[in-house]
Amino acid sequence: MPRIKRRDFIALLGGGAAAWPLAARAQQPAMPVIGFLSSESPDLFAYLARAFREGLKGTGYVEGEDVAIEYRWADGQYDRLPALVADLIRRQVNVIAANSPAPVLAAKAATTIIPIVFATGYDPVAAGLVASLARPGGNLTGVTSLTAEVGPKRLELLHEVVPTATAIAVLVNPAAGPLAETISRDLHAAARTLGLRLHVLHASTVRDFDTVFATLAQLRVGGLVIGSDPFFNSQSEQPMGGRRYLAGPRIGNRSRRVGPSSDSERGQYRDDRTEAGNIDCPDR
């Protein structure tokens, strides 16, 4: 058996030691990719992305180090969601995280393989996201705070503010599908209990606002409840477009707006929630 010279042994050992890190790196799995899908705009709802990253960090995942995040924003335009989801699928994300029913439904329609995790204020069963709370089924799971259930309470509050009103209007986005139907149904039931006539008006584009508020003037309703919807939220913060309506629609000489003055999800005072016109009570 030939003897190995000390010099050759050291060279062999050094070459092997240099190869080991390369082999170890080659066996490391690729960094997981999360698709963050929102129907909102990044400027208005940057706090969501920030809270999402902080939550990941709390579980040991730091963006850019342990996980990559692909952000897709629809800016309140629901018709953009299918293309955004398709882009995430082409990116081969490992999971899709969505913050409201519209992007969840878009993701659900596009894939039955990629896991979808949602957080919403709506009833996920009524919204058509899952089969049941106990057994969601399919590739979806998530959490709900059921904040949309306060819609009837807003109508009750509006009735207290304008007790002489006999007719109230509610603005919903028909593009929201089941959500718009749920809001309309719940408020119709509440209106009957309060002895009010409820007029349901629709808006899914900025152009619709002219028709909506012209109709309100004709109906001479006592107040307007603006349904929870990302499109209305995004438009209320725009310097142009829907802000001139949703930030302070005027019917008559002046208007009073009643809405939540704080946002527990943001953890900070949000005075502009009333400026966004959550509930508008016009004086005539």
Report all structural domains of the chain as residue ranges with CATH numbers, in order of start: 33-145 (3.40.50.2300), 148-283 (3.40.50)
Structure-block tokens of residue 123: 């009833």
User: 73: which strand partners?
Assistant: 38
Mean pLDDT calculated for residue range 171-176: 85
Distance, in Å, from the CA atom of 192 to the CA atom of 57, rounded to the nearest integer, reads 48
Q: Who wins on pLDDT, 112 or 231?
A: 112
Q: What are phi and psi of 140, to 5 degrees?
A: -115, 145
Distance, in Å, from the CA atom of 178 to the CA atom of 51, rounded to the nearest integer, reads 28
**Buried residues in 132-167 as b, exposed as e (16+ CB within 10 A):** eeeebeebbebebeeebeebbebbebbbeebeebee
Q: Quick one: which of 100, 55, 61, 59 has its CA closest to 81?
A: 100
Q: Quick one: which of 240, 168, 253 has its CA closest to 209?
A: 240
Question: What pLDDT was estimated at residue 190?
Answer: 92
> Is residue 148 over pLDDT 70?
no
Q: Who wins on pLDDT, 252 or 214?
A: 214
29 DSSP assignment:
P
Question: What pLDDT was estimated at residue 236?
Answer: 60
Question: What pLDDT was estimated at residue 166?
Answer: 92
Cut 0.75: pTM above it:
no
Question: What pLDDT was estimated at residue 125?
Answer: 83
Give the helix ranges, DSSP H, for 28-70.
46-58
Least confident of 68-72, 80-84, 127-131, 154-158: 127-131
Question: What pLDDT was estimated at residue 9?
Answer: 35
Residues with Cβ within 8 Å of 18's Cβ and at least 6 positions away in sequence, in order, are none
Cβ-based burial of 43 (10 A; exposed 0-12, middle 13-18, buried ≥19): exposed
Could you please report the per-residue DSSP string of 139-175? TEEEEE--GGGGHHHHHHHHHHHSTT--EEEEEE-GG
Question: What pLDDT was estimated at residue 257?
Answer: 35
Question: What pLDDT was estimated at residue 70?
Answer: 96
Which amino acid does the sequence have at 146?
Answer: L
What share of the chain has pLDDT > 90, as a percent?
32
Mean pLDDT calculated for residue range 217-236: 80
> How does the average pLDDT of the chain come out, rounded?
75
> pLDDT tier at 89 (50, 70, 90 boundaries)?
very high
> Is residue 258 over pLDDT 70?
no
The answer to whether 174 and 204 are in contact (CB under 8 A) is yes
> pLDDT tier at 191 (50, 70, 90 boundaries)?
very high
Residues with Cβ within 8 Å of 27's Cβ and at least 6 positions away in sequence, in order, are none
Residues with Cβ within 8 Å of 263's Cβ and at least 6 positions away in sequence, in order, are 270, 273
Question: What pLDDT was estimated at residue 8?
Answer: 44
The answer to whether 41 and 76 are in contact (CB under 8 A) is yes
Structure-block tokens of residue 27: 């066996």
Enclosing H/E stretch for 187 = helix 178-194
Question: What pLDDT was estimated at residue 83?
Answer: 97
> pLDDT tier at 259 (50, 70, 90 boundaries)?
very low
> pLDDT tier at 230 (50, 70, 90 boundaries)?
confident
Structure-block tokens of residue 164: 């002489």
> Is residue 215 over pLDDT 60?
yes
